[in-house]
Amino acid sequence: MKTRFLSIICFLFISTGMNAQFADTLHISYGLPQIRTESWSTGKKIGLAFLEGQAFNAAFQSFDRFILKADYAQGTIEDIKRNLKFGTGWDNDAVGINMIGHPAQGAVYHIINRLNGISFWGSFPLTFVDSAIWELFCESEPPSPNDFFTTSWNGMILGEVLWRLGNYAFCKPARKGVDLKLRAGLGVRAVTELSHSISHPANSPAVGIGASFTLDATYGDRMCVKDNAPVNFFDLHLTASVGNGQSPIGEFTLLSRLWGMELEPKKGEAIFGIYDHMSTFLSESWTRNRAPYRCSEGVSVGPGIFYSHNGFTTGAFVAATLIGAATTDFYDVYDRDYNFGSGYSIKSLNTYRPSDVFSLSLNFRHYQLFTFWGDKPTDIEDRHYVNSMGDNGTTLTEVLNLRTTISPLRHFDIELSAFLIHRNSLYKIHPHTKASHLTAEIGLKYSL
């Protein structure tokens, strides 16, 4: 599974480079006026976009099949017939593949579509078709509904983020009137379990410690609506880490505005909008046979509001979640130790910045996922056909994050961050469980 994830990321970087290289030549930078008023698509390059999408599928599949020699890429005609006959089923890949890797693959499709002059919304059906062809004809495993939606929808959002970043970096007209803030840093990250209502055999150490790399990107103005184009504001945070208890992607959050309108409060500034949410918090096992926590919000959209006054900025959001993932204590098939589910999320994001040298953030996220359908894993021998969302029931996950930033020197920040993650799993046939974990991090960041 790690090799599969790495291959997706490699192709993603290649496609982002294509975006940067050809943006000036094709004159389709999102910063140019004609793109803001384009229709559903330009029409004349849809066929070319489709062919290039399939060329990417062929190249990606050949790379996985002949270079990586991955099992899932060793498909045959019989596998294709079986996929068409079987239909869709919830797969049992690792959470990183399903909730991060597939959106990254979809981002490649989206960038290909944008390079061919297709609009943001016009890209979605083509990305869905590209994903369907990959699922049905390029893998030996049955197609899965979670992959269809995370690849197409989240791929469209992530692809637009990369499209805008590429244009900003390499196309001067795209920078006009656009604010981009980038920060990168290195730090030390620790994970520990505070409590768990189920007794598992544990091994030392009690605290998992590792090194981390962080990247923050804020594009556009959260308090201003200009052309109201989709994703003209986004806030991205990524933490990659190595070490005991550390997941390669420990944290990934992306808040993107799809539509907005400015409000006129008596004091301060306010904006109401429709936002897309991608959130993933992951750890790996080091004290027991299961990972301490896994929480991911995939296809998730809903209304939200930002308010700013005298150095204080607060945001409140509610979102309906079509595809999400959460830790489970019992389901364990192949690489999946988590439930799929649908539900909702509630968020409160608050930052106080009284000066340029100090800021304090307190963020609260609540996720509630309902897992309601699936086969019993023990009833089916081939794990590819264990068509289950997981352990039926409801999973409630709260993530409380306190972050302090001190800026002693220009461009340099010292950041201290702590996450308290609490999970309450209400299973239908298993005992209910509760678990709490603490993740702390200290790092030095550089503002680009």
In sign, the C-alpha dihedral spanning 152, 154, 155, 159 is positive
Burial class (CB in 10 A: 0-12, 13-18, 19+), 314: middle
The predicted pLDDT at position 193 comes to 83
Domains and CATH numbers, the chain: 2-175 (no CATH), 180-447 (2.40.230)
Residue 113 and residue 126 in contact, taking contact as beta carbons nearer than 8 Å:
yes
Helix 102-115 / helix 46-62 crossing angle, nearest 10 deg: 140
The SS3 assignment for 90 reads coil
β-pairing, 249-263 with 269-282?
Answer: antiparallel
β-pairing, 294-297 with 269-282?
Answer: antiparallel
Nearest-angstrom CA–CA distance, 110 and 16: 10
The predicted pLDDT at position 24 comes to 43
The predicted pLDDT at position 27 comes to 41
The predicted pLDDT at position 26 comes to 42
The predicted pLDDT at position 4 comes to 57
């019993």: which residue's tokens? 376
The predicted pLDDT at position 195 comes to 83
Average pLDDT per run of 10 along the chain, which is 448 residues long? 55 54 43 37 75 96 92 89 85 93 96 93 95 94 92 97 93 86 96 76 66 97 91 97 90 97 95 98 77 92 97 98 95 90 98 96 98 70 75 96 95 96 94 93 95
The predicted pLDDT at position 399 comes to 97
């991090």: which residue's tokens? 441
The SS3 assignment for 40 reads coil
Model confidence, pTM: 0.91
**Amino acid symbol at 111:** I
45 φ, ψ to 5°? -120, 15
Here the tokens at position 129 are 């078709």
Q: Beta partners for 395?
A: 369, 425
Nearest-angstrom CA–CA distance, 117 and 27: 9
The predicted pLDDT at position 171 comes to 85
Peptide bond into 33 cis (omega under 30): no
Instruction: Please give the biggest Cα pair distance in the chain.
Output: 67
Nearest to 402 by CA among 432, 365, 356: 365
The predicted pLDDT at position 187 comes to 97
Nearest to 431 by CA among 296, 312, 318, 330: 330
The predicted pLDDT at position 198 comes to 73
Nearest-angstrom CA–CA distance, 119 and 431: 49
The predicted pLDDT at position 13 comes to 54
